Amino acid sequence: MQPDPFGNLRDWGPALEKICQLADEGNLSDCQSGLTRILRYRDNWRLREEALLRIGKINTPEDPMVRQILNIIEDERLYYDVRILACQTMAELMKNSSGRFYAATETDILNVVKVLSSTPQPPIFEQALKKLYSVGREKFCVV
């Protein structure tokens, strides 16, 4: 399987179909570099959201993809719905992951959530951050 089978993201219909097909077949884990590219792609919210909805089931997430999800959570220029979805995806990845993330990534996740939680946020985003922090503390064995 190609690490990036999604092709031209401007022609987003086939890319969207490919995400759904790979998820249904259980093969998204093989395409994490392509999924990371989709998460970075700012010109199509539908692709980004579909990727976030589907990748939480990956049990061996690669660091670049995890960090891109964290970038979405942290990016104040993005709309709250996608940031909340990214929080939910990150929590799902943590729960489904068969191992731990890199130590620096674990620290960064908890620190970003702490920083975001230290300033006023809309209640629904604040709730997503609290849940992510709770899952992170449990997964990373933080007391």
Spatial distance between the Cα atoms of 66 and 117, rounded to a whole number of angstroms = 20
| 110 inside domain | yes
- The whole-number pLDDT of residue 143 equals 65
pLDDT of residue 142 exceeding 80, the answer is: no
Q: At 86, which amino acid appears?
A: A
In the three-class reduction of DSSP (H, G, I as helix; E, B as strand; rest coil), residue 129 is classed as helix
| 103 inside domain | yes
| 119 inside domain | yes
| 69 inside domain | yes
- How does residue 99 score in pLDDT terms, banded at 50, 70 and 90? confident
| 2 inside domain | no
- How does residue 1 score in pLDDT terms, banded at 50, 70 and 90? low
| 80 inside domain | yes
| 6 inside domain | no
Spatial distance between the Cα atoms of 121 and 65, rounded to a whole number of angstroms = 25
| 1 inside domain | no
CATH of the domain at 24: 1.25.10.10
- The total number of structural domains in the chain stands at 1
Give the Å distances, CA to CA, from 20 to 11, 28, 49, 112, 122: 15, 9, 12, 30, 31
Q: What is the mean pLDDT of the chain?
A: 95
- pLDDT tens digit string along 13-71? 999 999 999 999 999 999 999 999 999 999 999 999 999 999 999 999 999 999 999 99
Find the domain containing 58 and state its range.
12-139
- The whole-number pLDDT of residue 100 equals 86
Spatial distance between the Cα atoms of 54 and 56, rounded to a whole number of angstroms = 6
